[in-house]
Amino acid sequence: MEGGAHGATEEAFRAAHTIKGLAAAMGEDAVSARAHALEDLLSGALASKEAVGGTRIDELLEAADALAAAIAHGATALPPDAGPVPAPPATYDGGPASVPEGTVRVVNVRLRPETPLRAARAALVRSHAERCGGVLGAWPPPGADTDSVVLFLGAGADEAAIGEAVRRAGDILDVAFEAVEAPRVAPSAPAAPAAASYVRVDRAYLDALAESVAELSVLHERARTAGPALDPAGWQADRVGALLAALRRTVLDMRMVPVGAAFDRFNRLVRDAARTADRDVAFTIEGAEIELDQAVLDAVVEPLVHLLRNAVDHGIEPREVRLSAGKPVRGSIRLAAARDRQSVRFTVEDDGGGIHRDRVAARARDAGLPVPSGEPTDDELLRLLAQPGFSTAAGVTTLSGRGIGLDVVVDRLRRLGGAIDLETRAGSGTTFTLRVPLTLALAHALRVRVGGEDYAIPLTHVTEAIALDSAAIEKADADREVIRVRGAAVPLVRLGRVLCAASAGESAAVVAEAGDRRVALGVDELVGHEQILVKPFDAPVNALPVFSGATLLADGRPALLIDPLSVA
């Protein structure tokens, strides 16, 4: 609305008016009164025919907040739900609009639970029965996915023949005949309401569902690798695997929400922050339609809030500074989301003054932190800023612009199995890039062996795994090694050394990449590819940063998750 559009004001006015009317009709006087107040303000704005701006907006937002609070209060004051909606009856009553006229018998045919291509089997049941004659209709229609078929028989039907024909269709669990009393005009009256396209589900159920599916997947993996002893034909495991894959896809799809759902509040946040800090800021959002697991989105919101606040408070310069630097008075902050392989990338970019590398280095030195000689690179800068000791050092924020909360952001990202990158350009701005996995419920991982122990490397940032030939390792300098991956030199880090484990000699390397950071992690052995269930991991305070979580492997053994980029 700010800066103008008359149409938007009108739209808001109509919405306030509607809420007022509905609330009054339902006796929600508090809501109605607040909607009325908002409506008044908006009608004033409409009458003035001028662009709505400045303090007017503040008044409007206050009125809208008051209305939202009243509505929320009204909602909680409602009596508790009358329990879950009852499931539709399991009989045919919910199905066809009516039982065909002349029906004297109804046959209920149930398929075996594990029937493959059961819709086709149901079609076969119907076709076999129809060949006997006397079948007036069937439910559901051909092609519908179903585990049972209802046949409607007329007076002339040969029940014995139909029963026999139906059983011959195969994969039949049971066949039940039921007489229909006199003139059965079944639910011809109001047809069952069409199923709603949306169902409200408590997140807890969804989480529980996702967890059982994930655990089933792990169990399946275990059964599969246990081999022929358990499942001679491998058929059970295949079948369970196919079912699981379908179930998992559904559950994960259900958990996906467009990131825009969380972005909406950022407009307000940036606006409020800009007002408080007395900055002029244009805020743009891109990629609101990108989809992400609800749980990941929830977890990434707080880091984004931190970064956006920082961008306003410390990124964008005061007007006079921008003017004297020859930049537009109004600063710009851009939040963008994009899909990148099995992860989603968030970018928070400002066109402010950038981070003063020398000041950060000086401050870090004062705080007694180890500081590399020379001007810190972007990566070193990020590491310094993310030091808990650093962010509490007095005066840092006003001097350097960044610090507060960045340790929290980095820690959050690490727990999510994500990564963060920083790029800052003196005088022209700063960009933070966050990468998070698409979903938390289940991750693909490489199982590797180092010094006789197995570890899991989530595939989120892995680009490839290659055989490692010791002759192909080059020395970059005294203690750094590189290998060539598709022609490009990539730093090689021997995982055994990071873990202080007795490596049996590296035979493979796992290449990981995030932004322009790449690393090849040398491991003794690639054991295989597994689906893992990532368990929350409360690392001891002095744990190696290379561990990002824990999991149970397919054979039931616990293993630590390795974050390859932590050593990049």
Partner 1 sequence: MARTVLICDDALFMRTMLAEIMEQAGFEVVGQAATGAEAVRLFQELKPDLVTMDIIMPDMGGIDAVREIMRSTPDANIVMCSAMGQQALVIEAIQAGARDFIVKPFQPARVLEAVQRVLG
Q: Tell me: does residue 116 bind partner 1 (CB under 8 A).
A: yes
Give least dist CB 113 to partner 1, A. Answer: 16
Give least dist CB 329 to partner 1, A. Answer: 60
DSSP state of 565: G
How many residues are given for the chain?
568
Q: Tell me: does residue 170 bind partner 1 (CB under 8 A).
A: yes
Among 53, 54, 133, 142, binds partner 1 (CB under 8 A): 142
Q: Tell me: does residue 143 bind partner 1 (CB under 8 A).
A: yes
Burial 398-432 (b: 16+ CB within 10 A, else e): ebbbbbbbbbebbebbbbbbbbbbbbbeeeebbbb
Stretch of 100-108, 113-121, 476-484, 538-546 lying at the interface with partner 1 (CB under 8 A): 113-121
Cβ nearer to partner 1, comparing 179 with 233: 233
Site pattern 42..81 for partner 1 (x: CB under 8 A):
----------------------------------------
Among 30, 124, 247, 282, binds partner 1 (CB under 8 A): 124
**How many CA atoms within 13 Å lie on the side-chain side of 296?**
31
Q: CA-to-CA distance for 378 and 374, rounded, in angstroms?
A: 13
Among 242, 325, 476, 504, binds partner 1 (CB under 8 A): 242
Q: Which of 384, 371, 430 is nearest to 410 (CA)?
A: 384
Cβ nearer to partner 1, comparing 170 with 389: 170
Cβ nearer to partner 1, comparing 239 with 557: 239
Where in 78-186 does DSSP place strands (E)?
105-111, 135-139, 148-153, 172-179
Among 8, 97, 117, 329, binds partner 1 (CB under 8 A): 117
Among 119, 252, 301, 399, binds partner 1 (CB under 8 A): 119
Among 233, 471, 478, 488, binds partner 1 (CB under 8 A): 233
Stretch of 116-124, 214-222, 405-413, 472-480 lying at the interface with partner 1 (CB under 8 A): 116-124
Among 16, 31, 70, 123, binds partner 1 (CB under 8 A): 123
The tokens 């989809």 sit on which residue? 291
Q: Are 251 and 441 in contact (CB under 8 A)?
A: yes
Which tokens belong to 503? 């490596």
Give least dist CB 116 to partner 1, A. Answer: 5
Q: Are 42 and 12 in contact (CB under 8 A)?
A: yes
Among 5, 72, 120, 245, binds partner 1 (CB under 8 A): 120
Q: Is 48 helix (H, G, I), strand (E, B) or coil?
A: helix
Cβ nearer to partner 1, comparing 164 with 264: 164
- Partners of residue 285 on adjacent β-strands: 335
Q: Is 95 helix (H, G, I), strand (E, B) or coil?
A: coil
Among 14, 168, 249, 265, binds partner 1 (CB under 8 A): 168
Q: Tell me: does residue 127 bind partner 1 (CB under 8 A).
A: yes
Q: Is 201 exposed, middle or buried (0-12, 13-18, 19+ CB in 10 A)?
A: exposed
Cβ nearer to partner 1, comparing 205 with 235: 235
Long-range contacts of 129-134 (CB under 8 A, 24+ apart): 129/162, 129/165, 129/166, 131/165, 132/157, 132/158, 132/161, 132/162, 132/165, 133/157, 133/158, 134/158, 134/162
Please calculate the CA angle 316-320-326 and round it to the nearest 5 degrees.
80
Cβ nearer to partner 1, comparing 198 with 235: 235
Q: Tell me: does residue 502 bind partner 1 (CB under 8 A).
A: no
Q: Tell me: does residue 133 bind partner 1 (CB under 8 A).
A: no
Cβ nearer to partner 1, comparing 53 with 170: 170
Q: How many chain residues interact with partner 1 (CB under 8 A)?
A: 15
Give least dist CB 240 to partner 1, A. Answer: 14
Element (H, E) at 44: helix 29-48
Residues of the shown chain interacting with partner 1 in the complex, contacts defined by CB under 8 A: 116-117, 119-120, 123-124, 127, 142-143, 168-170, 233, 235, 242
